[in-house]
Amino acid sequence: MSQADGRTEGYNLHAYRPQSEFLDNTETHHARPLTDAVITVRVIKSFEYRTMKALVLHVDLTQTNIAQLRERCVDAVRTQAGFKAYRNVANQLDTLKLYTHAHGAKTSNLIINLDHPEWIFANDPKGPCLADLGIRR
C-alpha cells in the first residue's frame, strides 16, 4: 500500500472508477452548436387513443423557421417507412407546440404539454427562426 488513503496503486486505474479528467460535464443542450441541433418532434395521430411517434431531425436552428420545420415533418411522415400508419393524417399536421426544454421540468401528460399555452407556434412562413423562439438543441 503506497498511497496515503490505504489503497493500492491499481485502484486508481480500475475500470469502474471513472477518470474525471476524461469526463466532460457540459450539459447536452450546450454541447452541440445551434447550426447542428438534434430535435425530437412528436407526431400525434390521435389524442383520444394517445397514439404518437417520435421523429428525430437534424436541424439548423439559426436558419429554420416553424413553417420549414412543419414541412420537413410532413415530408418525413409521407416518405419514411416507420410512419406508414401516419400517412393518412400527414396533411392534418398543422400545429407545432414545444413539449419541454432540455433539462427542464417535464409534464405528467404523456402526449402534449398543457402547462404552457405560449409554446404553441404559428405556422408563419416569414416568422423568426427556431433559435429566436427559444428552441434549444
pTM of the predicted model, to two decimals? 0.70
Calpha distance 71→61 (Å, rounded): 15
Tell me what pLDDT residue 132 has.
Answer: 87
Q: Where are the domains of the chain?
A: 33-121
Q: For residues 55 and 76, is the Cβ–Cβ distance under 8 A?
A: yes
What lies within 8 Å, CB to CB, of 116 at 6+ separation is 98
Host H or E run for residue 46: strand 37-46
Calpha distance 57→52 (Å, rounded): 16
pLDDT tens string for the chain (137 positions)?
Answer: 445 555 555 555 555 655 555 555 666 656 678 888 888 888 888 878 888 888 899 999 899 998 999 899 999 999 999 999 989 888 888 777 777 666 666 666 667 766 777 777 777 788 888 888 877 76
